[in-house]
Amino acid sequence: MPITTCVFDAYGTLFDVAAAARQAASEPAFAAIKDDWTAVAEHWRLKQLQYSWLRAITGAHTDFWEVTQNGLDWALEKTGHHEDAALRKRLLALYWELQAYAEVPEMLAALKSAGLNTAILSNGSPEMLQGAVNSAGIGDVLDVSLSVQSVGIFKPDASVYDLVGAHFGCTKDEVLFVSSNGWDAAAATGYGFTTAWVNRSGEPMDRLPWTPAHVMQNLTGIPALAGV
């Protein structure tokens, strides 16, 4: 079945999750993290994901914004910046203005020009996703942002992936699902999507029952995978 629908994870896939810490570190008011902003960003992202998994398996769902704040608080304590309230406030504000990776606008435009459906499927709340889409200026090349908030559980629960077919009326084999998270791409493979893992940092393959169909360094090859 030809691909009709291209679906993207948001954070780390379309949007650079390290951008908030990198931007703050470049500002004189937050020079305290200029030497360890990468550690702040890495701890923040890891805890954000870990907390989403733990909440999913324990049935303790909450808004992704709370998870994001919880992850940042852990990261700031881990790196010794937990008493800097101004830094915390600035990092959280910047998370609503994450930059898209450089190839994203042209890639999405190519998909839309070819008549394909394009969507975000993310743990992010609708408000968070809208903020990122607006900041990146890519709203005109996305049909919809689908949030786990409508099903009340985080990825990789199958009910999250169900949102794609429910919205577009497509079958699983019509969907190309793209994520920078190896576990997300793997789970989507098990679900039945054609998948691409965007492995920007050269991470090892996750040891899971499924593996992504494709592995790429960035998103420039997605139109070709979709048959454009």
> Which tokens in the block code for residue 142?
């996305």
Q: Which residues are catalytic?
A: 9
Nearest Cα to 188, choosing from 203, 208, 170, 202? 208
Rg (CA), the chain: 17
Neighbour tally for 75: CB within 10 Å: 24
Q: Strand order of the sheet with strand 117-122?
A: 144-147, 117-122, 5-8, 175-179, 194-198, 214-216
Q: Which residues contact 34 (CB under 8 A, 6 or more apart)?
A: 25, 26
**Pair 155, 63: CB distance under 8 Å:** no
The first and second tokens of residue 126, run together, are 């609708």
Q: Would you call 179 helix, strand, or coil by DSSP?
A: strand
